[in-house]
Structure 1
Amino acid sequence: MMPTQQGYDRAITVFSPDGRLYQVEYAIETVKRGTIALGIKTKYGIIFAADERPRKLQVVDEPQKLFKIDQHIGIAAAGYIPDARRQVDDARFFSQSSKIVYDESVSVETVTKHIADQCQQYTQYAGARPIGVSLIIGGVDQNGNSLFLTDPSGTYIPYNAVAIGADSDRVTEFLKKHYKPEMTLEESKMLAISSINMVSNDAKGSEHIKISQIESDTKQFEIVDKNQITKLLQSATEKYPAEEK
């Protein structure tokens, strides 16, 4: 990098001559280096899934990349997960505050826009780096089933199915090939399992896969039991044969 470019590289609030914010781009690169996370929306509900590979002897009781925001809203994260925890805490506080003020559950898009606005602020003011995580935010509200993606730039976009993290391009192509809006939650889970295993070259079985869901009828966020994921693994393997590495 030329000396004149290094100034733009270090200043998060200054655009380079070619219209780039380098530190924001680096934050997006951090997301691309995280393990895969994905979300799937169908008429029956929302599925979140993540590839979580614990170290040896690590105790893992709860998912580290899947979060509950409210009864009807969940999140999957990829990138710098400590940043995700901070955003999750902020989203939880915002959701509960909205319920107290307006006496009704906050919409999924309202929470998503709030989180995206927080990300955008870190691209505008000096003294703090951009957020190094992308979030898949989904849930069931008065508007139906919704699924959104936020990124470090402050952008948020609605999706039917989306993947973030390492090899997300391959998983996105896999989702485009097999996704159907009328899929059941069980079929969505199998698609999520196959998507993660397709890019998890050094992981076997289902121990590294974490899944959560929100059903359209109950509007309740819940973590899918690991035994159920194990049972679905065989069906997923048969339904979606392994793609070429």
Structure 2
Amino acid sequence: FRVSSVACSPSNGINCLTFLCCPYTLTVSRNAALQGVFGGGETPKPLKTGTTIAGVVFKDGVVLGADTRATSSEVVADKMCAKIHYIAPNIYCCGAGTAADTERTTDLLSSNLSIFSLNSGRNPRVVMAVNILQDMLYRYHGQIGANLILGGVDCTGNHLYKLGPYGSVDKMPYLAMGSGDLAALGILEDGFKPDMELEKAKQLVQVAIHAGIMSDLASGNNIDICVITREGVDYIRPYQESEFKDNRKMRYKYRPGTTPVLTEKVIPLKLEVVKETVQWMDTA
């Protein structure tokens, strides 16, 4: 992180010493100062995005998982949004953040790796995809709202990476990102073991995503699972329906008068009568 400070004076609208630890904080403080100087304008409100994505490295490969809810402010825009994106035959990527940014970023990465495969005749390595993504995200300094979990299998083994919108990279045996990541990470930390079997890894990712869904309103609906091994890819969509509309067990009918009327007020409706005269015209 980069630490800097802004001097305070009444002229620039800042009345105290503010310590800035990241470019996002710098932008927020700058917008607040400009609003105080010019007045009358309003700074843009922060965009709230919601997702729960997770990944686990097991004995023979990588398991990726994601929910399927896409939100626009307080509205559920899509209940079957695909958040696990194809990158290469041996690499897949989960995206959290702005839907357009994650889809466009993964499409560009997939196109670059397809050209590499056509020229070389072999599948790309996972670290190659990570380096391309890191350069792409760092170039825009956080303007691309994409938080990605990249998983794949190549000649060097099984790999799972996390990439932030500023280009930061972490490699871990289990990961979770999105607005429901705290609950998902709690499940992953408690249940992860090295060299897990496939069914145990799938169950762990499913429970982690479900925990994120239950603790976050912006995550929900179904759970998708993608299993990547040397033998191939098994993309299960949907793997589980976490939220669905329940059927009513009985019909509820109440007799008139069950709810008492406490007060009653009648407002007469005033109508304006308009008279129109129609004259027939001979058009023959």
Structure 2 runs not aligned, ≥5 long: 1-5, 29-45, 242-284
Q: Which letter maps to 2:184?
A: V
Deviation at 1:199, TM superposition (A): 2.8
Matched, 1:65 2:50: no
The Cα offsets for residues 97-145 of structure 1, whole Å up to 9 and x where unpaired, read as: 111333321101110110111000001xxxxx61101110010001110
CA gap of 1:24–1:118, structure 2 versus 1, over 3 A, is farther
Partner of 1:51: 67
Structure 1 runs not aligned, ≥5 long: 7-15, 124-128, 231-245
CA gap of 1:107–1:166, structure 2 versus 1, over 3 A, is same
Deviation at 1:90, TM superposition (A): 1.0
Matched, 1:79 2:97: yes
Q: Could you say what secondary structure the match of 1:34 adopts?
A: coil
- The match for 1:106 among 121, 124, 133 is 124
Partner of 1:35: 51
Please identify, of 163-172 and 142-151, the stretch whose mean Cα deviation from structure 2 is larger. 163-172
Q: Superposition RMSD on alpha carbons, in Å?
A: 3.1
C-alpha distance in structure 2 between counterparts of 1:24 and 1:135, whole Å? 24
Contact persistence 1:73–1:221 (CA under 8 A): no
The Cα offsets for residues 153-211 of structure 1, whole Å up to 9 and x where unpaired, read as: 111111111000113123212211110122122111111121122232388xx951111
Partner of 1:174: 187
Q: Relative CO higher for 1 or 2, CA cutoff 8 Å, sep ≥ 6?
A: 1
TM-score (norm 1): 0.73
Contact persistence 1:24–1:130 (CA under 8 A): no
TM-score (norm 2): 0.63
Instruction: Please state which structure has a larger fraction of its residues in helix.
Output: 1
C-alpha distance in structure 2 between counterparts of 1:187 and 1:24, whole Å? 44
C-alpha distance in structure 1 between counterparts of 2:225 and 2:143, whole Å? 28
- The match for 1:140 among 128, 135, 153 is 153
Q: Could you say what secondary structure the match of 1:224 adopts?
A: strand
Deviation at 1:229, TM superposition (A): 4.0
Matched, 1:223 2:223: no
Q: Could you say what secondary structure the match of 2:211 adopts?
A: helix
- The match for 1:20 among 10, 19, 22 is 22
State how many pairs are aligned. 206
Deviation at 1:93, TM superposition (A): 1.1
- The match for 1:210 among 219, 224, 231 is 224
Alignment of 1:159-170 (within 5 A): 159-170=172-183
Q: Could you say what secondary structure the match of 2:85 adopts?
A: strand
Instruction: Please state which structure has a larger fraction of its residues in strand.
Output: 2
